[in-house]
């Protein structure tokens, strides 16, 4: 990956990558944004809040990990105790496991929405914390939105992607109003874009009615699926691919916006 000199950021950013619709590119974005930030020299933590553990699986074998965010939610370990290093310099992982799903069925106590926000206070050493969220407005997504300074919403330019946006916007606004007044929407990132299709062109303005849309978008390409299969980030798997360049440009655009 292109290593550039570290440019210090003014404050620490906690970014929830969220969209309650499945398959919109949340995990792909969480993995590659985290790696791009780490490659720029920022100390970064990827927190996998999805019981599917897809982003954890890129960096570790979740079945072999003893501890995960399950232990943080169940109060049996601290966040520091469950964090593991990755092969990417400056990037650590707070892994998930399928057992995380049990937290939801175990019933929710009054502290439940604040578990992650409280835990993040114990790791001030990270410049960026990136949260990969599940495809639901579950307690894990609520935790992410309560802990976040910013939200990034990956979205495909498709009709069904639009349908859930009212619900997502309402959830973000209600958390902002009640619990986290500083929560800001960084923007929607168009993913898996088929360039120059009529559909993409018609849907883009509709999405921008809901959320600001990043100038950079991520095009559809086989390198992404292949990189997941190879359990690598896109910068390691195909550094010259169009998607690697787009994820780097997106990261630069995001930092520019955060710091503005």
Residues that bind ligand ATP (CB under 6 A): 22-28, 50, 52, 54, 135, 191-192, 218, 220-221, 224-225, 228, 243
Q: Which of residues 39-58 bind Mg ion (CB under 5 A)?
A: 54
Shorter beta-carbon distance to ligand ATP: residue 80 or 201: 201
Shorter beta-carbon distance to Mg ion: residue 63 or 240: 63
- The candidate with the shortest Cα–Cα distance to 126, out of 149, 107, 103, is 149
Contact (CB, 8 A) for 234 and 32: yes
**CB of residue 52 vs Mg ion: minimum separation in angstroms?**
6
Helix ranges restricted to H, the chain: 26-39, 54-59, 69-73, 79-82, 101-105, 115-120, 139-147, 159-163, 165-178, 198-210, 222-229, 234-237, 242-259
For residue 225, the partner it binds in ligand ATP, Mg ion, none, with Cβ less than 5 to 8 A by kind, is ligand ATP
Nearest-CB residue for Mg ion: 27
**CB of residue 203 vs ligand ATP: minimum separation in angstroms?**
16
CA torsion sign for 208, 154, 43, 14 is positive
For residue 254, the partner it binds in ligand ATP, Mg ion, none, with Cβ less than 5 to 8 A by kind, is none
- Using CB under 5 A, count the residues that bind Mg ion: 3
**CB of residue 162 vs ligand ATP: minimum separation in angstroms?**
15
DSSP assignment, residue 52? T
- The candidate with the shortest Cα–Cα distance to 156, out of 15, 29, 14, is 29
Shorter beta-carbon distance to Mg ion: residue 43 or 54: 54
For residue 39, the partner it binds in Mg ion, ligand ATP, none, with Cβ less than 5 to 8 A by kind, is none
DSSP assignment, residue 5? -
Contact (CB, 8 A) for 70 and 48: no
Among 18, 19, 20, 27, binds Mg ion (CB under 5 A): 27
**CB of residue 132 vs Mg ion: minimum separation in angstroms?**
6
Token pair belonging to 50: 């999805």
Chain contacts with Mg ion (rule: CB under 5 A): 26-27, 54
């Amino acid at each position: 990956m292109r290593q550039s000199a570290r440019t210090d950021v003014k404050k620490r950013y906690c970014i929830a990558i969220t969209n309650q619709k499945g398959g919109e590119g949340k995990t792909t974005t969480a993995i590659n944004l985290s790696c791009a930030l780490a490659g720029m020299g920022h100390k970064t933590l990827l927190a996998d809040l999805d019981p599917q553990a897809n982003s954890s699986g890129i960096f570790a074998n979740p079945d072999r990990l003893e501890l995960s965010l399950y232990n943080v939610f169940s109060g049996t370990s601290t966040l520091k105790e469950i964090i593991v290093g990755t092969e990417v310099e400056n990037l650590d992982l707070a892994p998930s496991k399928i057992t995380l799903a049990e937290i939801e069925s175990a019933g929710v106590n009054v502290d439940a929405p604040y578990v992650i926000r409280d835990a993040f206070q114990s790791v001030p050493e990270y410049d960026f914390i990136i949260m990969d969220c599940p495809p639901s407005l579950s307690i894990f997504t609520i935790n992410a939105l309560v802990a976040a300074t910013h939200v990034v919403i990956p979205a495909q330019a498709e009709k069904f992607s639009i349908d859930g946006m009212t619900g997502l916007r309402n959830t973000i606004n209600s958390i902002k109003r009640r619990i986290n007044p500083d929560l800001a929407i960084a923007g929607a990132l168009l993913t898996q874009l088929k360039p120059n299709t009529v559909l993409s062109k018609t849907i883009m303005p509709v999405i921008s009615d809901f959320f600001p849309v990043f100038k950079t978008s991520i095009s559809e390409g086989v390198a992404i699926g292949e990189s997941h299969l190879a359990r690598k980030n896109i910068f390691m798997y195909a550094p010259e691919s169009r998607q690697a360049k787009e994820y780097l440009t997106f990261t630069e655009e995001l930092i520019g916006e955060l710091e503005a």
